[in-house]
């Protein structure tokens, strides 16, 4: 019985979609570790750098992961709570947990509050800067759920929310920022905004009927896809720029090239008159892209730095 309830909440927050932001949080974390090493000029290399950090800062990595999980869970649950009436009207989303009566709105709201508090508590365990910034992060990720009611730039706000993952992880380690992590976070904004526009193509008619704002509803499918492609092009440029600023090498470049290729692939399979492969573009291509990029970037840091 308990397992069924847990599965309902995991489905509510689409836990599998964690593969979008979590890999970039891990990249931000390890970039932070090597940034500190460069700043302190310890002379350590590769695994020695990682081993020294983990031994002298036990628990930080765990709390960074917990912050990611709790923040995302709060954001998704709140989105489902706030959009419950629209979800019930939309045939595509009517099967979600709240419209189907599997989870009550009050329970979803309590779940949001609990995860928000756990997120702030985990941030406090990292350092005071992360704790002080945690309400700002919550304002962005929870506030996103309101944006579709008044602006077509809602996709950008979602991108900003997910871009906090690498920046937050970097700050957790270094208590500062660096141009390379800013560029990486900007790349995440372009990437997420671009694929969210693709995903929202499915709701163009519904959004117009209900008076909701989105790029497809405002500009139409053809122009929305053009905007999505421009955002993904900017993401590719920013991604490579981030690696250059940080002094990364060919393994990173391979990961960035693979990531770029998968963005191009997802753009190629979604057509103005054919949305049948949107889910492949959204879930499969982006999931593989983020994981592959993270693994290769972390490998570059450990092997070549």
| Per-residue pLDDT tens over the stretch 18-31 | 777 899 999 999 99
Asked if 204 contacts 221 with a C-beta cutoff of 8 angstroms, the reply is yes
Q: Which pLDDT value is given to residue 14?
A: 72
Does 1 have pLDDT greater than 70? no
Report the share of the chain in percent with pLDDT over 70.
98
Report the pLDDT averaged over residues 50-60: 93
Domain ranges of the chain: 2-304
Asked if 78 contacts 138 with a C-beta cutoff of 8 angstroms, the reply is no
Q: Which pTM was predicted?
A: 0.95
Range in 31-35, 43-47, 177-181, 196-200 with the lowest mean pLDDT? 43-47
What are the structure tokens assigned to 180, written together?
């390379």
E-assigned strand segments in 49-129: none
Distance of CA 262 to the CA centre of its chain: 17
Q: What is the pLDDT of residues 138-174, one digit of tens each?
A: 999 999 999 999 999 999 999 999 999 999 999 999 9
Q: Which pLDDT value is given to residue 286?
A: 86
42 pLDDT band (50/70/90 cuts)? confident
- Residue range 2-304, CATH number: 1.10.357.140
């Amino acid at each position: 019985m308990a397992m069924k309830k847990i599965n309902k909440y995991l489905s509510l927050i689409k836990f599998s979609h964690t593969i979008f932001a979590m890999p970039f949080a891990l990249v931000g974390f390890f970039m932070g570790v090597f940034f500190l090493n460069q700043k302190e000029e310890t002379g350590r290399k590769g695994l020695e750098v990682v081993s020294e950090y983990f031994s002298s800062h036990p628990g930080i990595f765990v709390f960074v992961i917990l912050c990611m999980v709790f923040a995302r869970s709060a954001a998704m649950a709140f989105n489902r709570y706030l959009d419950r009436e629209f979800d019930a009207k939309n045939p595509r989303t009517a099967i979600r947990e709240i419209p189907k009566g599997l989870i009550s709105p009050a329970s979803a709201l309590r779940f949001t509050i609990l995860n928000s508090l756990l997120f702030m508590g985990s941030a406090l365990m990292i350092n005071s800067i992360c704790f002080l910034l945690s309400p700002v992060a919550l304002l962005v990720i929870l506030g996103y759920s309101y944006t579709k009611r008044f602006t077509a730039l809602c996709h950008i706000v979602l991108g900003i929310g997910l871009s906090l993952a690498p920046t937050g992880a970097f700050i957790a380690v270094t208590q500062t920022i660096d141009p390379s992590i800013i560029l990486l976070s900007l790349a995440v904004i372009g990437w997420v905004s671009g694929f969210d526009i693709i995903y929202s193509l499915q709701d163009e008619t519904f959004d117009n009927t209900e008076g909701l704002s989105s790029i497809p509803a405002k500009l139409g499918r053809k122009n929305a896809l053009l905007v999505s492609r421009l955002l993904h092009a900017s993401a590719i440029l920013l991604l490579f720029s981030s690696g250059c600023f940080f002094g990364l090498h060919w393994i990173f470049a391979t990961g960035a090239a693979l990531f770029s290729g998968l963005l191009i692939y997802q753009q190629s399979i979604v057509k103005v008159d054919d949305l049948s492969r949107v889910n492949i573009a959204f879930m499969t291509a982006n999931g593989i892209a983020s994981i592959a990029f993270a693994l290769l970037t972390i490998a570059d840091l450990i092997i070549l730095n």
